[in-house]
Structure formats: structure tokens, C-alpha cells
Amino acid sequence: MTRALLVVDMQNDFTEGGALGVSGGNTLATRITAFLARHADEYDLIVGSRDWHDADGDNGGHFASADEPDFETTWPVHCVAGTPGAEYHPDLDTAPIDVHVMKGQGAPAYSAFEGTTESGKDLADVLFDRSVHEIDIVGIATDHCVRATAEDGLRAGLDVVVFEDLVVGVDPTRSAAALEEIRNGGGHVDRSDMDEGLANPGGAQL
């Protein structure tokens, strides 16, 4: 079975200090890098997704304009294409990533399946071309883009696994509910082996 890893939105604006920083994001970048060091060669394909919003306009109502953001459908300005906030977190090792997809680009987008490569190919086509049947998902945020990506993967008929120790969410209650929704939808929520005495390259316990 051909297997892919999706690294969802590990971007500066979604980690501590960013426009929509999620608690635990910095540590997560380090943990995913350690996971990649241990397991990258077990995947047939590794994909990184990023929000990549337009600098002009409200991106289809995604960015709050005159009103305050409700943090459900409208958000502060974040992950504008070409800005530091849209770049991958510096502690994420991007070398193992084979394909990069950008989502948003003028419209609201949450799922990595709404993203396209630089050449315009969407994620579903990338996975189909590689005969991928199973996807493992890590990244940010459990209750938004991770959930949406998992749900779209299930709708595409893929075997979906979310590593609950390699995702972080905005709200703990909504994040727990999101994982339960993924289970109820036929997906799998597992833990990686990253807590089994693994040390990072600097020797500190993760």
C-alpha cells in the first residue's frame, strides 16, 4: 500500500508569536522534524501544505475587515504569500518534503486538499498519480485544517491516520471533538512513537 505523510500548515503565523499562534506550535515543529528523521524513508511521498493568502482584499471574506474576527469563519490577516509569516517554521526540516501545496490564494481554504502545487496540480491529483492509498497527517491546527484535511482524505476514499501527539489545536475541547469526528468518519487516531525515549539531535528529551 502506497503511503504518504501530510505535514499541515507548519508555518510561522500558526506558531507562538505569529498572527494566529497556537500554543505548542514551536515544540511541534521540533517533534515533527525528529519524526521525519526517524521515519521519512518509510513514506512513498511527503507533502507540506501552507496557507498562502493574497495580500490584497479579504480573500473571499476569510480575513476580517471592518468587524472583529470571529475566529470561526473570519480571521486576522495571516500567512500572506511571500511574507515571513507564511514560511515554514524554522525548526521544521523541509528537506524530506517532496511536494509543496499552497491553499487559499484569494479564497477561504482549510483542507490541504484545497491546495495546489506551483504548477497548479491539486493534492488529490498528486496522490492519485503516486497511487497513494493511505495518508498520515501531522501539523496545525487539530480543530481546523487538520480536521478538514482528514475529512477530505476520507471523502477521497483514502485510509486516514492522524497522529494525535503530532498535532496541536486552537481549542482543547474543539480539538478533542475533531479527533472524535475523524474516528466516527472512519479515520484512525493513533500515537506516533515519539514519546518512546526519542531524543532530538541536540540530545534534549522530546
pTM of the model: 0.88
pLDDT class for 202, splitting at 50, 70, 90?
very low
Q: Which residue out of 13, 103, 136, 143 is catalytically annotated?
A: 103
**Residue 153 grid cell:** 482524505
User: Does residue 78 register a pLDDT over 80?
Assistant: no
Please tell me which residue in 9, 51, 143, 152 is annotated as part of the active site.
Answer: 9
Q: Per-residue pLDDT tens for 85-137?
A: 899 999 999 999 999 999 977 677 889 999 999 999 999 999 999 999 999 99
The per-residue pLDDT for range 4-62, each reduced to its tens digit, is: 999 999 999 999 998 888 999 999 999 999 999 999 999 999 999 998 876 777 766 57
Type and span of the H or E element at 34: helix 25-39
CA–chain centroid gap for 173, Å, is 19
Q: Which helix (H) or strand (E) holds 124?
A: helix 123-129
The yes-or-no answer on residue 79 being catalytic is no
CB within 8 Å of 20: residues ≥ 6 apart: 13, 14, 75, 76, 78
- Indicate which residue of 51, 93, 145, 152 is catalytic: 145
Position 19 scores a pLDDT of 82
- What separation, in Å, do the N-terminal and C-terminal C-alpha atoms of the chain show? 30
Residue 91 annotated to the active site = no
The domains located in the chain, with CATH, are 44-129+139-155 (3.40.50.850)
